[in-house]
Amino acid sequence: MKIEVGKNRPDTFTEIYPGMFDIFSHFEFATAIPHVLFAITTLKENGQPNINFHSWSCFQGDPGGFFAILSGIYQHTHTYANVKRTREFCVNFLSLNYLDNLNATIEKNEIEDDEFQTGKFSIEKAEMVSAPRIAESFLTLECTVKQITDLSGAGMTAMIVGEVQQVAIEEEYAKDMRRYGEGGFMLLCHSPFDFQAKTYNKTKAAILDLRKVT
């Protein structure tokens, strides 16, 4: 038997913090689809480096190009303003070891803040864009903007498609399977709704446990 959930939010999906459903669709918690976590880096208008700890995206391409498709960038953020102004950004992948550092950049992210300093990260110069790279990242994508679209038409979130111009990967991660498991990609499991208990499980960061490689 399958549980059916429609576009109208069921009464069982109650807020666990004010404004929860002003930000997210209830489908977010009904599906709880894991997404890779990463940090978007840009430059603020005043020159300070900006870090946006993000998820809800995919990375795909064809012979015409490879693209970072960031599907949930809030239009009120520094990141959106920076990307719209400069038409470039970097996507930095870090291991679970840096989770606390990345969370710190969420708490202290005003216009005057150097968010690399907040997160205790080192700035690394990019090759193809002016946005900074995070030196501690094991994989970085340097991107220029291909398109920006209002995701739902509500003026809340934007889908930013960046064309990857350069990839930087740590040597030790390039020669084996280090990109996966304890020291590799981390994923977001965002408050999965428990339909039996009618409550939410805690949000957790996960790692990939490889069982079979074909």
Q: Is residue 82 one of the residues assigned to a domain?
A: yes
Q: Is residue 192 one of the residues assigned to a domain?
A: no
Q: Is residue 190 one of the residues assigned to a domain?
A: no
Digitized pLDDT (tens) for each residue of the chain, 214 residues in all: 899 999 999 999 999 999 899 888 999 899 999 999 999 999 999 999 999 999 989 999 999 999 999 988 999 999 999 999 999 999 999 999 999 999 999 998 899 999 999 999 999 999 999 999 999 999 999 999 999 999 999 999 999 999 999 999 999 999 888 899 989 999 999 889 999 899 999 989 999 888 876 6
Query: How far, in Å, CA of 93 to CA of 39, rounded?
Result: 6
Q: Give per-residue pLDDT as tens, 47-82.
A: 999 999 999 899 999 999 999 999 889 999 999 999
Q: Is 27 exposed, middle or buried (0-12, 13-18, 19+ CB in 10 A)?
A: middle
Q: pLDDT at position 21, please? A: 93
Question: Can you give the residue range of the structural domain that contains 107?
Answer: 38-177
Q: Is residue 123 one of the residues assigned to a domain?
A: yes
CATH at 140:
2.30.110.10
- Whether the model clears a pTM of 0.85, i.e. scores above it, the answer is yes
Q: Is residue 186 one of the residues assigned to a domain?
A: no
Q: Is residue 73 one of the residues assigned to a domain?
A: yes
The four Cα atoms 211, 201, 22, 17 give a dihedral, to 10 degrees, of: -140
Q: Is residue 7 one of the residues assigned to a domain?
A: no
The count of structural domains within the chain is 1
Q: Is residue 213 one of the residues assigned to a domain?
A: no
